[in-house]
Structure 1
Amino acid sequence: MKLIGIVGSNADHSTNRTLLRFIQKHFSDKAEVEVFEIKGLPAFNEPKDKKAPLGIQELADKIEAADGVIISTPEYDHSIPAALKSVLEWLSYSVQPLVDKPVMITGASYGSLGSSRAQGHLRQILNSPELKARIMPSAEFLLGYSLQAFDEEGDLLDQEKVAELEDCFAEFQLFVEMTNLLLKERQKRTTAKPAFSWKEIIASEAEGNE
């Protein structure tokens, strides 16, 4: 399984980056996880041609090629960082690669709540019509007190949190498989369904009235 993990912060030092790198390393035998940085991407400015900048297009291409997406967000003032919101605005306004894409949300914060309110806002944003991601339901990974959560090698110290993350990741793998299977079946039905034509209906009714 090929996944892309998006660091939801442009900070030089982010425990969400550390969390995604731990996920990348810890689950390397189960999935290929690429960690993508949003640092340095331009702020959304609503261009008239709706063309995505190079960095945004690169991210969009990686999302398209991936089986699923993991977004790890901190919490700033009870919501997601402006840099992450800007990236999502670019994606919704231009290439829309998140439509029907399976997404898992994680988050780390310095306080006790582990970005719970930011994750709630992120779910709302990803449900918007132009993003329309398939968000894994009834599961979220919250890492509180994240400055003390990792050792020098970037490994999670709390084995209960490791076990919780393993459960979430296993569920996400299953969610990705089921979602992509569902989408394939929908595509088959759409392809097999004959195109609607008023002319054919009118012609058929005319024949029946003769």
Structure 2
Amino acid sequence: MKFISIVGTNSNDSTNRKLLQYMKKHFAEKAVIEVWEIKDLPAFNEPEDKLAPVGIAALSAEILAADGVIISTPEYDHAIPAALKSVLEWLSYTTRPLIDKPVMIVGASHGSLGSSRAQAHLRQILDSPELKARIMPSSEFLLGRSLDAFDEEGNLIYGDKITELEECFAEFSLFVEITNQLVKDHRFKANQTKLFSWEHLADGGLN
């Protein structure tokens, strides 16, 4: 499987980046995980032509090509960072690559709650009609006390959190397989229905 992971902040020193880099290394034998930065992407400014800027278009293409998406978000004032919200606004207004795309949400914070309220906020946003992502249900990975969570090599040192992350990732991998198959079957049946309706009308016209 190929996943794209998004660092949900423009901070240069983020433990959410460390978390995704750790996941890329730790799960290397199970999936290819690309880590994408949003810190150099422009702030959302509604374009008249509805065309995405180059960086947003590149991110969109990677999302479309991936089997699933992992977003790691910090928590700022009980919500996701403005930089992440801006990226989602670009995607929803232009290319809409997250429609039916499986998404796993993770988060790291300096406090003990591990970005729980920001993750709830992100779920709400991703469920909006313009984004309509397929969010893994009933599963959160919350990394609290994240400043002390990694060693000098970037390895996660909380044993219980490693086990929890492995369980969440295994669930997400299965969720991706099932979701993508369901979406594929649904689209096939929808296309077959359209084809059947057209042929039925054509036959009716000929008879």
> What is the TM-score of this pair, normalised by structure 1?
0.93
Deviation at 1:200, TM superposition (A): 3.8
Secondary structure of 1:193's partner? helix
Rounded to whole Å, the distance in 2 between the matches of 1:102 and 1:194 is 26
Deviation at 1:38, TM superposition (A): 0.2
Rounded to whole Å, the distance in 2 between the matches of 1:111 and 1:194 is 52
With over 3 angstroms needed to count, the CA separation of the structure-2 counterparts of 1:30 and 1:53, relative to structure 1, is same
Deviation at 1:82, TM superposition (A): 0.1
Largest Rg, 1 or 2: 1
Q: Which moved more, 1:4-13 or 1:185-194?
A: 185-194
Between the two proteins, the alignment pairs up a number of residues equal to 203
Opposite residue 167 of structure 1, the aligned amino acid is E
Secondary structure of 1:28's partner? coil
Deviation at 1:187, TM superposition (A): 1.7
Deviation at 1:194, TM superposition (A): 3.8
Rounded to whole Å, the distance in 1 between the matches of 2:112 and 2:173 is 27
Indicate the residue corresponding to 2:126 in structure 1.
126
Deviation at 1:69, TM superposition (A): 0.2
5+ unaligned residues in a row in structure 1: which ranges? none
Indicate the residue corresponding to 1:113 in structure 2.
113
Deviation at 1:193, TM superposition (A): 1.3
Deviation at 1:192, TM superposition (A): 1.5
Q: Does 1:60 align with 2:60?
A: yes
Opposite residue 157 of structure 2, the aligned amino acid is L
Indicate the residue corresponding to 1:100 in structure 2.
100
Indicate the residue corresponding to 1:41 in structure 2.
41
Deviation at 1:154, TM superposition (A): 0.6
Alignment of 1:122-201 (within 5 A): 122-195=122-195, 196=197, 200=201
Opposite residue 182 of structure 1, the aligned amino acid is L
Secondary structure of 2:5's partner? strand
Residue-by-residue CA offset, 1:88-141 (whole Å, 9 max, x unaligned): 000000000000000000000000100000000000000000000000000010
5+ unaligned residues in a row in structure 2: which ranges? none
Indicate the residue corresponding to 2:20 in structure 1.
20
Q: Give the alignment's Cα RMSD to 1 decimal.
A: 1.5
Rounded to whole Å, the distance in 1 between the matches of 2:170 and 2:84 is 26
Indicate the residue corresponding to 1:6 in structure 2.
6
